[in-house]
Every structure is written in C-alpha cells, then in structure tokens.
C-alpha cells in the first residue's frame, strides 16, 4: 500500500470516528429547552414517557444517519477494508464464525460475571437497565441497540481502532487496547470487565476471518438476544415456574 493510499485510508478512518463521536454526543442538544420542546411535539406519549420516547427516537434516527454517512465515507475508499494480509474467509464461513462468535461472547460474559462476583461486584448493568427501560416505552430503540449501534461500533472499535493498532502491534496488544477503549465508551465502569471481554472476542472474530461482517453478526446477535430475554424476563419466569410445578 502506497503512502498516499495509507493517508487516504487514515483520513477515512478519522472521518468515520468523528461521525461516531458526533452521533454519541448529539443527544446533548436535547438538553436545550426550545429544541427539546420542538421535538416533543412529534412524540405521542404523556408525562415522563414523552422524554423517554424522544430519547429512543433521537438515538435511532441519529444512529441511522451516522450509519449512512459512514457507508458513504467508506464507499469512497476501496482500500478501507484492506487491513490484514492474506485471503479473507468466504462469506458462508464468516457468517458461521459470526454465529459461533455469539456463543463465545456469551460464554466469555459468564466467565466475566464470575470474576466480577469474586471481586464483590453486583450483577446487573445500569446502562443495560436504562436502555431496556427506554426500549419498553419506545421499541424503536431496538434499531439503535440491535442494528445500527453494533454496526457502528464494529466500524469504529474493530476497523478504526483495532485495525489501526494491528498495523504495528501484536494481536494481543491491539485486541486488549481496543477492547478497553470499547468498554470505556459505554461509561459503565463497574462492569468494564464484561465489556472488555466482549470487545476482545469481537476483535478475535474480525482478526480470524478478516471480515468485519463476522464481528457485526456476533455483536448484533448478542444485543438482540439480550434485549429479547430482558424484555420478556417476566414471561420466561412464569414459564419456568409452570414447568417446575
């Protein structure tokens, strides 16, 4: 890869990162009363639920816009995905590893939960609970948490961060650093071990197949399954109680 091509690719990576950062902080604009009131008139919810629904719609819409912008930026640079040497895994193999990756991440989180318990950290993530509360009020939030969010995070933390580090560092160093950054951005430092383990598995999947598709599939499956299980926890508990009677 020529120096000019490297500079163009680094520029694309930087623009993708900036797009993600803007998406992440865009919600602060809703703190401004006139802007908040303007958007609330389009929300058909009452009381506190109106603010929750607005947050859900804002997150989903801005995530969708960020996704489209990233696709446009990446589409303009055909070398953006040329991170690793060697042949990429086929699409079917990549999909297969994505499904396997979901179970790897889930198993990793079980191990992480045991480690946290041994350290005296209580189970349950406030970050996840907040997202689930928002999703219950406004299911549109699932677009952000299950679809756009995982894709954007894989673009940024696996391709931009991990993909840049792997050029000069070993897999273990690049994987660990990118995973810690991935964990930190979720602002749930109590459970940083769980997020770091997940990020490391996602990095491994990307490195293994050389296709971002693999980590995206695993990430989307993880978020999707956790969302479904959490939203239906009461129903699942009732079924469990009936089966044990």
Helix (H) or strand (E) holding 244, with range, is helix 233-244
Q: What are phi and psi of 154, to 5 degrees?
A: -70, -40
- Which one is catalytic: 37, 45, 154, 186? 186
Q: For 85-148, where are the alpha helices, taking DSSP H only?
A: 91-118, 126-137, 141-142
- Which one is catalytic: 37, 45, 116, 153? 153
Concerning whether 153 is annotated as a catalytic residue, the answer is yes
Tally of helices (H runs) and strands (E runs) in the chain: 12, 0
Q: Are 14 and 154 in contact (CB under 8 A)?
A: no
Look at residues 174, 175, 230 and name the one whose alpha carbon lies nearest to residue 198: 175
Concerning whether 154 is annotated as a catalytic residue, the answer is no
Write out the catalytic residue numbers: 153, 186
């Amino acid at each position: 890869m020529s120096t000019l091509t490297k500079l163009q690719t680094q520029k694309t990576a930087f623009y993708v990162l900036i797009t993600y950062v803007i998406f992440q902080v865009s919600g602060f604009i809703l703190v401004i009363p006139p802007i908040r009131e303007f958007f609330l008139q389009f929300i058909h919810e009452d009381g506190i639920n109106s603010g929750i629904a607005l947050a859900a719609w804002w997150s989903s819409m801005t995530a969708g816009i960020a996704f489209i912008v990233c696709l446009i930026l990446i589409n303009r640079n055909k070398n953006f995905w040329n991170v690793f040497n060697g042949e990429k895994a086929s699409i079917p193999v990549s999909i297969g590893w994505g499904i396997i990756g979901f179970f790897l991440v889930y198993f990793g989180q079980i191990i992480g939960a045991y480690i946290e318990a041994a350290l005296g950290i209580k189970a349950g993530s406030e970050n996840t609970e907040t997202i689930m509360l928002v999703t219950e009020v406004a299911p549109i939030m699932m677009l952000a948490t299950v679809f756009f969010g995982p894709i954007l995070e894989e673009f940024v933390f696996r391709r931009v961060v991990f993909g840049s580090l792997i050029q000069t560092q070993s897999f273990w160093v690049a994987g660990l650093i990118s995973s810690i950054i991935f964990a930190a951005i979720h602002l749930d430092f109590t459970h940083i071990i769980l997020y770091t383990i997940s990020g490391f598995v996602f990095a491994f999947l990307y490195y293994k197949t050389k296709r971002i598709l693999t980590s995206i599939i695993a990430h989307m499956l993880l978020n999707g399954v956790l969302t479904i299980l959490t939203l239906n926890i009461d129903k699942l508990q009732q079924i469990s109680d009936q089966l044990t009677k």
